[in-house]
A = this chain, B = another copy of it.
Amino acid sequence: MSASSSSSTLPAFMSTSGAGLDTIFRPRSIAVLGVTNTPGTVPHDIFVNLLNGRFNGPVYPVAPRKRHIAGVKAYDYVLDIPDTVDMAILVFPGRVCELALEQCGQKGIKAAIIISAGFREVGPAGIEREENIKAIARKYGMRLIGPNCLGAINTEPDVHMNASFARAMPAAGSIAFISQSGALCTAVLDYAQGMNIGFSKFVSLGNKADVTEVDLLSYLADDPQTSVILMYLEEIRRGRELVQVAQHITAASKTPKPILAIKGGRTAQGAAAAQSHTGALASSDVVCNAVFEQAGIIRSKSIEEMFNTARLLAYQPLPRGNRIAIVTNAGGPGVMATDAAIERGLELAKFSPDTTAKLKKALPAAANMKNPIDVIGDARDDRYRAAMEAVYEDPNVDQILVILTPQSMTNITTIAQAVCEERKGHANKQKPLMCSFMGAKDVASGIQILQEHGIPHYVLPEWATDAMEDAVRYRLWRDRKRTRTRIHEDVDRNKAAEIIKRASDGYLIEPLALKVLAAYGLPVVPSELTQTADEAVAAADQLGYPVVLRVVSPSIVHKFDVKGVMLNLRNAEELRAACGEMRAAILQKYTTGDIAGFLVRRMIPAGKEVILGLSRDPVFGHVIMCGLGGIYVEALKDVTFRITPISEATATRMINSLRTAAVLKGLRGEAPSDIPAIEDCLKRLSQMATDFPDIAELDINPLIVHPAGQGCHVADVRIRIQKQT
């Protein structure tokens, strides 16, 4: 038995992935190509954005036959610029773009952003153009963002680059935002401005001809300005690398950072819409969910949800646990916040006696001293102070939510200031603080104060609890014990390799499929391929009764339709009769040539039915699946997925994540099933997937699982081979 580490070392590709991106985000000089003097056109706006955004370096406009652009001397060609240029921004249609990029290469420019559309997303001609620009970039060792994008922004004070046609430069902050939709960027920037959210880097990916999210993540992993990374993706191309870099950033790194992502195209219709504007290749959404889970990426469903969580993670410490304290001046919202918190897996902290004593001293008798603390409608800042003081000091409290409704006695801005001071005074407690000053108009001045002091504010307490749930999940992910991927050395890889090598594309016949499983130590039941009733009886005598008889045939897909499976044959007489009956039934539809033989197998005792499987995803490679079998579960589609290889703990987590896991653990006093045996199967299948990329599909349905300690058995298996070119 040996072991390979799954997450503690830096993925090897990260240094090359992120290489050269510093020139994009921190160029010392920039040329804008194709710029005009007409405000409202994209190239003009980009040029002016760089100037007005006070980029810390010279910006050269390239515009043939123009003397100047916006008062800055212009050049006919990029090669005419007398100084060194680090980065170029190109806004040219197809063929012209290629020529201009070629000149940039000749000029020694090492980074480019291509804004223009008209490439891969428009079909074959565009794909060719995109290949051409990729070739040029490769030739000159140039990193490339786009084409078909909005640009890139870096708010670092000594760079201060708005290389985009967004309307305004965002405020500086510690959130990096990566988007595959340029238009979404404009909405996000406007939205963020309204909520006082600042960014470190802001990148529109466009068609990802060169730079992808994997490259950007590799670069942002060590970016000191960035503490939280947000992504909007419609297409994932380097799936396995994405998982590895995300695992590194979110947990393994010395300075872990949370990653939040929205994946557009969750539904078939959404994926179709995404394809129409990016030409994206779709993985199924269940796979995507599994991958995000496995990569430690927090999946958001909307921009709102994403920023709600991002603000908490960017501005507040990570919570130690899920026990929250609620301070409110209104019972109803306290109830609503409690409902929302419990529904999201949070707990209401149980206060220490000390806290209760402090509250009793500071609050009026009619107040509620239990959690949620109701300081009552006529509360002013002093009561909020006292309650916050108490819960900050209480070791049973991990996170704090302060709710305010604007009642006639409520001194909103003074309370906001008090909240900020309490937080400052207890910064050493490392407890995240969130506020919900409910309403819009009267509470606006208070909200402004909170946001200026980095306290995440949510119009509704429910949104705060969404963010808290994500923060707790991220805390658990970071603290999770990292287990290794166990390599089973008792497998006979060569034996399986020989079978798979010889097979042509399509399903393996059952005896071969069973041999592959057996070679990897999966619990197959001894069986014998026979041709005649006599051979079958001889085999059964050897194996022991009762037995199962199954036809072996590459042409018969639905065995049950032709009596191709007969169960529980208790003696030679029954077996012989079954052989005759089966052959007769088959020959009504097929010829003897279709029959490769009859498999005789010992009957497996009853047990719980589980299904295991492997499939090959176009983006993420092999995906392993597990679920309970049987008719009810088919109606419920309760299955779980991971990409391979899976670690020791992942196998356990797969089973625990099933809604029907309780059935395996033993309901109504039933004996628990042999869960470790299922986990062993999963880990062996995972190893098989790693060893054999040619396995396109594998289904064990069912795996019969016996009570704890008694193992499990493969009752049926199908393996489909499709050779990788």
Interface, chain A (partner B; CB < 8 A): 40, 42, 45, 117-118, 122, 165-168, 179-184, 186-195, 232, 234, 262, 264-270, 273-274, 276-278, 301-304, 329-336, 338-343, 348, 366, 368, 370, 372, 374, 377, 405-409, 438-444, 459-460, 462, 628, 630-636, 659-663, 667-668, 670
Beyond known contacts A278-B331, A303-B438: 18 more, CB 8 A cutoff: A165-B407, A179-B332, A183-B332, A187-B405, A190-B441, A190-B442, A192-B440, A193-B440, A193-B441, A268-B342, A270-B336, A276-B374, A277-B334, A303-B336, A631-B663, A631-B668, A632-B632, A636-B636
Ranked 8 nearest A-B pairs via Cβ = A181-B332, A194-B440, A190-B439, A183-B330, A187-B438, A277-B331, A270-B339, A184-B332
Q: A165-B408, A338-B270 are in contact. Are A181 and B439 (CB under 8 A)?
A: no
CB distance from A491 to the nearest CB of B (A): 34
Which residues of B are found within 8 Å of A336, using beta-carbon distances? 262, 264, 270, 302-303
Contact call A277/B374, Cβ cutoff below 8 A? yes
Which residues of B are found within 8 Å of A372, using beta-carbon distances? 273
Bound complex: CA of A667 vs CA of B633, how far in Å?
11
Bound complex: CA of A191 vs CA of B341, how far in Å?
22
Measured CB to CB, the nearest residue on chain B to A666 is B631
Bound complex: CA of A323 vs CA of B632, how far in Å?
32
Which residues of B are found within 8 Å of A636, using beta-carbon distances? 636, 659-660
Contact call B190/A460, Cβ cutoff below 8 A? no
Measured CB to CB, the nearest residue on chain B to A461 is B302
Measured CB to CB, the nearest residue on chain B to A341 is B269
CB distance from A395 to the nearest CB of B (A): 21
Q: A330-B187, A332-B180 are in contact. Are A302 and B267 (CB under 8 A)?
A: no
CB distance from A310 to the nearest CB of B (A): 15
Bound complex: CA of A667 vs CA of B531, how far in Å?
35
Bound complex: CA of A99 vs CA of B366, how far in Å?
23
Which residues of B are found within 8 Å of A269, using beta-carbon distances? 338-339, 341-342, 348
Q: A338-B270, A631-B663 are in contact. Are A194 and B439 (CB under 8 A)?
A: yes
Bound complex: CA of A422 vs CA of B628, how far in Å?
53
Contact call A195/B440, Cβ cutoff below 8 A? yes
Contact call B40/A408, Cβ cutoff below 8 A? yes
CB distance from A211 to the nearest CB of B (A): 18
Q: Which of B232, B405, B462, B633 contacts A186 (CB 8 A)?
A: B405
Contact call B303/A460, Cβ cutoff below 8 A? yes
Bound complex: CA of A437 vs CA of B122, how far in Å?
27
Q: Which of B40, B232, B274, B377 contacts A182 (CB 8 A)?
A: B377
Contact call A343/B266, Cβ cutoff below 8 A? yes
Bound complex: CA of A222 vs CA of B264, how far in Å?
45
CB distance from A232 to the nearest CB of B (A): 6
Which residues of B are found within 8 Å of A341, using beta-carbon distances? 269
Bound complex: CA of A440 vs CA of B167, how far in Å?
13
Bound complex: CA of A42 vs CA of B409, how far in Å?
9
CB distance from A559 to the nearest CB of B (A): 14
CB distance from A424 to the nearest CB of B (A): 26
Contact call B183/A329, Cβ cutoff below 8 A? yes
Bound complex: CA of A667 vs CA of B406, how far in Å?
56
Contact call B186/A335, Cβ cutoff below 8 A? no
Which residues of B are found within 8 Å of A42, using beta-carbon distances? 408
Bound complex: CA of A635 vs CA of B665, how far in Å?
10
CB distance from A174 to the nearest CB of B (A): 20
Bound complex: CA of A409 vs CA of B183, how far in Å?
12
Contact call A370/B276, Cβ cutoff below 8 A? yes
CB distance from A146 to the nearest CB of B (A): 14
Bound complex: CA of A125 vs CA of B52, how far in Å?
70
CB distance from A329 to the nearest CB of B (A): 7
Q: Which of B276, B330, B631 contacts A181 (CB 8 A)?
A: B330
CB distance from A416 to the nearest CB of B (A): 15
Chain A to chain B contacts (Cβ below 8 Å), 16 pairs: A40-B408, A181-B330, A183-B377, A184-B333, A186-B439, A187-B333, A188-B439, A192-B440, A193-B439, A195-B440, A234-B332, A265-B339, A267-B338, A276-B370, A303-B438, A635-B660
Bound complex: CA of A194 vs CA of B447, how far in Å?
14
Bound complex: CA of A270 vs CA of B371, how far in Å?
10
Bound complex: CA of A634 vs CA of B439, how far in Å?
43
Bound complex: CA of A333 vs CA of B670, how far in Å?
50
CB distance from A377 to the nearest CB of B (A): 5
Q: Which of B165, B186, B406 contacts A167 (CB 8 A)?
A: B406
CB distance from A279 to the nearest CB of B (A): 11
Bound complex: CA of A377 vs CA of B166, how far in Å?
12
Which residues of B are found within 8 Å of A439, using beta-carbon distances? 186-191, 193-194
Measured CB to CB, the nearest residue on chain B to A378 is B42
Q: A183-B329, A273-B372, A439-B189 are in contact. Are A167 and B408 (CB under 8 A)?
A: yes
Bound complex: CA of A30 vs CA of B336, how far in Å?
34
Which residues of B are found within 8 Å of A660, using beta-carbon distances? 632, 635-636
Q: Which of B184, B274, B440 contacts A405 (CB 8 A)?
A: B184
Which residues of B are found within 8 Å of A186, using beta-carbon distances? 330, 405-408, 439
Contact call B659/A407, Cβ cutoff below 8 A? no
CB distance from A593 to the nearest CB of B (A): 29
CB distance from A436 to the nearest CB of B (A): 9
Measured CB to CB, the nearest residue on chain B to A275 is B335
Contact call A405/B183, Cβ cutoff below 8 A? yes
Bound complex: CA of A50 vs CA of B22, how far in Å?
65
Which residues of B are found within 8 Å of A277, using beta-carbon distances? 331, 334-335, 368, 374
Contact call B667/A332, Cβ cutoff below 8 A? no
Which residues of B are found within 8 Å of A340, using beta-carbon distances? 301-302
Measured CB to CB, the nearest residue on chain B to A118 is B366
Bound complex: CA of A270 vs CA of B409, how far in Å?
26
Measured CB to CB, the nearest residue on chain B to A636 is B659
Contact call A670/B183, Cβ cutoff below 8 A? no
Measured CB to CB, the nearest residue on chain B to A635 is B662
Bound complex: CA of A45 vs CA of B188, how far in Å?
42
CB distance from A170 to the nearest CB of B (A): 11
CB distance from A408 to the nearest CB of B (A): 5
Which residues of B are found within 8 Å of A440, using beta-carbon distances? 190-195
CB distance from A448 to the nearest CB of B (A): 14
Contact call A632/B634, Cβ cutoff below 8 A? no
CB distance from A510 to the nearest CB of B (A): 21
CB distance from A102 to the nearest CB of B (A): 25
Contact call B438/A267, Cβ cutoff below 8 A? no
Which residues of B are found within 8 Å of A195, using beta-carbon distances? 440
Measured CB to CB, the nearest residue on chain B to A630 is B632
Q: Which of B266, B273, B304 contacts A331 (CB 8 A)?
A: B273
Which residues of B are found within 8 Å of A190, using beta-carbon distances? 406, 438-443
